[in-house]
A and B are shown apart, each in its own frame.
Chain A
Amino acid sequence: MKKNLIALSLILILALSLCICAFAAEGSVEMRYVVDTYGLLSFDQWASLENRAANISEQHGCGIYIVTVDDYRNYGDGSVYDVTTQIYHRSGAGFGMGSGRDGIMLLLSMNNRKYALFVYGEKAEYAFNDDGLEQLEEVFLSDLGNDNWLDGFSGYLKACDQFLTCAEEGEPVRDNPLGLIAIAVAVSCGIALVICLILKSMMKTVHQKAGASEYVADGGLHLTQQIDQYTHTTKTRRKIEKNPGSSGGSHSERGAGGIGRSGSF
């Protein structure tokens, strides 16, 4: 098994190197941040994203990475999150920036439509904590779920830029409790109002009667006809939305010196 993994790792490194070389031959951009081994993007799309990722990474001193593979199980052992951490830490791959090797990696495993986010380094974890990662994936997962790769990756890069900027300004993105508080207060007010209306209804005891059930004689209702006839069947179909937040079972992860999230898209 271990031999297998070493062999697969070598295949990945070889594949990445081949890609880098191929793209490098076609254009002047070096593939470092957007590693599209599965081939979701055209050259122009890839080059544009690579440039943006490089700029954002260098500006903030934190690597922003996107990796697409056919099946994550070909590149490591364990869950999609585990494999992402293994790729990030693979010697010679050169992921992470600065002495703390700060960075965030988004890995897409296309054959089983699984994804993982891995955040490593003190600076990166300050910018992308658990709450932040949850908000970050909301930015791009719906696009990825609809196979809208360019918009999904663009959204991811833009959001990473914003998150890092906020962190540098000392106000990292965190869960906004106001929404939760507003819901809690609204529900509490609703419960209080229902109780008060029940108490208020006790003040009014005079009502005109609409029925006469107390005066029914001869043992109640005598049914003379009772027909239940089947007429037809109608069928409606609804496409099940690919919502990773609910159906994909997206969840937080920890391990390999960092934090992250994983799920399906």
Chain B
Amino acid sequence: MPSQVTNYQCPSCTGPLHFVGSTGKLECDYCGSSYDVAEIEALYASKEEQAVQAQREAEAKEEQAGSDWDFSGLNSDWGADAEKMKSYTCPSCGAQLICDVSTAATSCPYCGNPTIVPGQLSGALKPDFVIPFKLSKEDAVAALKRHYKGKFFLPKYFVSENHVQQIQGVYVPFWLFDGQAQGEARYETTRSRIYRTGDYEVTETDHFSVLRAGWLSFEKVPVDASSKMPDDHMDSIEPYDYSELKPFSTAYLPGFLADKFDVTAEQSRGRADTRCESTLRFALRNTVIGYESCLTLGERTELNRGKVHYALMPVWMLNTKWQGKDFLFAMNGQTGKLVGDLPMSWGKFWATFAAIAAPLSVLSTVLALTFLG
């Protein structure tokens, strides 16, 4: 159980502070003051220590005080669920809240205050890097509207009837793998020439044995470390601009959800390995040029695995529901790339097919009969 919940409050008015991507500062909603991340971090480092001590003392007092009520019927055994849950107290309104063990930052459902559950991101679990949100909720909504545009087969009522049910900025945990892939591949290639001799057409084919060997270095290949996040959505909003990677600070988190990893680096390694190996195979194959055919006879790859980094990446998750079906969209909170599968109107599909095929058939028939008939 975490000893304390961090809630960054404005030093001027004690209102909640939010990280604002566009300015890169923590801003107060109430008095409009803004603070650098480093400034707030320094202020809260000392505050946190004091608060931890105070809470411990309060808990000890509570234990000593006892109670007149009979609590013997209450069951404090959470069983297997205890491992998955975490409880904390909102520092703003005092509400007792329970959250998932992988939740590192969230907001209080009673007062809306953004809070961070410190135990989740400390010690060995602390991320190395974070890419702060650059785009706001409004940007995400605008991107979703743009996503609908030009989609010819989108059902007419999908846009008008459906409303975004939830928009949430989430810092998604990622493992970033450094490493090197090296290997070799053998190919059989051919090059042909055709000529005519008498009544015969002769095809002469030269066969070659081709070998390619080489290596590729990879830097920070991302694999999402949260089982809650669909892998294909997270893959599709790549890449992130790593030049904006910053050393991790909790000061970037207020105002957004943050998950801690629940898929270990060892469990994620397979996906990074596969991506690196297939990239090397593809790169080697691309060097075999000047031939008409190329058959891969064999490939061998090996990986020199390097450093693994733990980072939080900004993602806007948008949920909608239409005709009882959930539609999930994800937007890269840094670059604005938005993905999400859309429903199909098969009526529109076949109407479009008919609208193209019918006049084209008439035109091509007339042309065919005129020029070939």
Q: Which residues of A contact B (CB under 8 A)?
A: 175, 177, 180-181, 183-185, 187-189, 191-193, 195-196, 199-200, 202-218, 220-240
Please, which residues of chain B bring their CB within 8 A of the CB of A189?
Answer: 353, 357, 361
A216:B199 contact, CB within 8 angstroms: no
Q: Which of B217, B232, B340 contacts A216 (CB 8 A)?
A: B217
Within the assembled complex, what's the spacing in Å between the Cα atoms of A232 and B208?
A: 7
Please, which residues of chain B bring their CB within 8 A of the CB of A211?
Answer: 275, 278-279, 282
Q: Does chain A have a CB within 8 A of B233?
A: yes
A–B pairs, 27, beta carbons within 8 Å: A184-B364, A185-B361, A187-B364, A188-B356, A196-B349, A199-B352, A202-B150, A205-B147, A206-B340, A208-B231, A208-B232, A209-B275, A211-B278, A212-B221, A215-B219, A215-B220, A215-B222, A215-B239, A217-B218, A221-B215, A221-B287, A224-B215, A227-B211, A231-B209, A236-B205, A238-B200, A240-B200
Q: Which of A183, A196, A221 contacts B368 (CB 8 A)?
A: A183
Contacts A225-B211, A233-B204, A234-B205 aside, 6 further interface pairs with beta carbons under 8 A come to A188-B357, A192-B360, A196-B349, A208-B235, A211-B278, A212-B276
Within the assembled complex, what's the spacing in Å between the Cα atoms of A231 and B295?
A: 15
The 3 closest A-B pairs by CB, nearest first: A225-B213, A192-B357, A192-B356
Q: Does chain A have a CB within 8 A of B344?
A: yes
Within the assembled complex, what's the spacing in Å between the Cα atoms of A222 and B215?
A: 5
Within the assembled complex, what's the spacing in Å between the Cα atoms of A232 and B372?
A: 46
Q: With A232-B207, A233-B206, A236-B203 as given contacts, are A216 and B360 in contact (CB-CB < 8 Å)?
A: no
CB distance from A221 to the nearest CB of B (A): 4
Closest Cβ neighbor of A219 among chain B residues: B217
Please, which residues of chain B bring their CB within 8 A of the CB of A221?
Answer: 214-216, 280, 283-284, 287
Q: With A180-B373, A220-B216 as given contacts, are A200 and B349 in contact (CB-CB < 8 Å)?
A: yes
Closest Cβ neighbor of A221 among chain B residues: B283
Q: Does chain A have a CB within 8 A of B210?
A: yes
Within the assembled complex, what's the spacing in Å between the Cα atoms of A262 and B364?
A: 30
A212:B275 contact, CB within 8 angstroms: yes
CB distance from B248 to the nearest CB of A (A): 20
A235:B203 contact, CB within 8 angstroms: yes
Within the assembled complex, what's the spacing in Å between the Cα atoms of A227 and B186?
A: 9
Please, which residues of chain A bring their CB within 8 A of the CB of B372?
Answer: 180
A226:B287 contact, CB within 8 angstroms: yes
Please, which residues of chain A bring their CB within 8 A of the CB of B150?
Answer: 202
